[in-house]
Amino acid sequence: MNFCSHCGGPVVLQVPEDDERPRHVCPSCGTIHYQNPKLVVGCIPVWEDRILMCRRNIEPRKGYWTLPAGFLENGETAAAGARRETLEETASTVTDLEPYLMVDIVHIHQIYLMFRSRLLAPDFHPTRESSEVKLLGEADIPWNDIAFKVVEKTLRHYLQDRPSGRFVFRTDKIDNRRLIGS
């Protein structure tokens, strides 16, 4: 951030009064520009004993497999955002959304919230964002070609809980900050 989005003047990095963190502050108009983590919402769409996965047709990680997920938009609930992303990426409709897993991805300022869900019908097809969309049994999951670690974590938690039928809300964390510094 270089300029104030309110008045267009240059911003400076400083700790505001009664604050403890450096913020982008505008000396011209006084606006403090806070930057906060973003919420990514997504689904595990299930039909019978199979999971709907999609192959990314866009960067990053084009060509790798993922679960439908994306940034929550202003004006929608987290569940509505997860349904929208599933529709956009797989052209399918999910129902019975239950919050299942929250993953803090600390180093990129993202919080993932993944819902369990049920496909209304086994209707789906490739989209602009997904070159392939497939229902996969546990044995067919392409573990070596998963797009993101958070997706792998979600699938592993889900498959671990599934035999018992008891899906308790879980939290998990990914933090690569030490790796970057080393």
Q: Which residues bind Zn ion (CB under 5 A)?
A: 4, 6-7, 9, 26, 28-29, 31
Could you say whether residue 178 binds its own copies (CB under 8 A)? no
Distance, in Å, from the CA atom of 165 to the CA atom of 158, rounded to the nearest integer, reads 10
- For the chain, where are the E strands, in sequence order? 12-14, 23-25, 32-33, 38-47, 50-56, 65-66, 69-71, 94-105, 110-119, 130-136, 170-174
Could you say whether residue 8 binds its own copies (CB under 8 A)? yes
Stretch that binds its own copies, among 37-45, 119-127, 135-143, 154-162 (CB under 8 A): 37-45
The residue within the footprint of its own copies, chosen from 50, 91, 93, 111 (CB under 8 A), is: 111
Strands 38-47 and 50-56: antiparallel
Stretch that binds its own copies, among 48-56, 59-67, 101-109, 135-143 (CB under 8 A): 101-109
Residue 25 binding result from Zn ion, its own copies, none, given CB thresholds of 5 to 8 Å by partner type? none
In our burial notation (b when 16+ CB lie closer than 10 A, e otherwise), range 26-58 reads: beeeebeeeeeeeebbbbbbbbeebbbbbbbee
CB of 112 to Zn ion, least distance (A): 29
The residue within the footprint of its own copies, chosen from 33, 61, 118, 134 (CB under 8 A), is: 33
The residue within the footprint of its own copies, chosen from 144, 164, 171, 182 (CB under 8 A), is: 171
Could you say whether residue 78 binds its own copies (CB under 8 A)? yes
Nearest to 34 by CA among 49, 8, 13, 9: 13
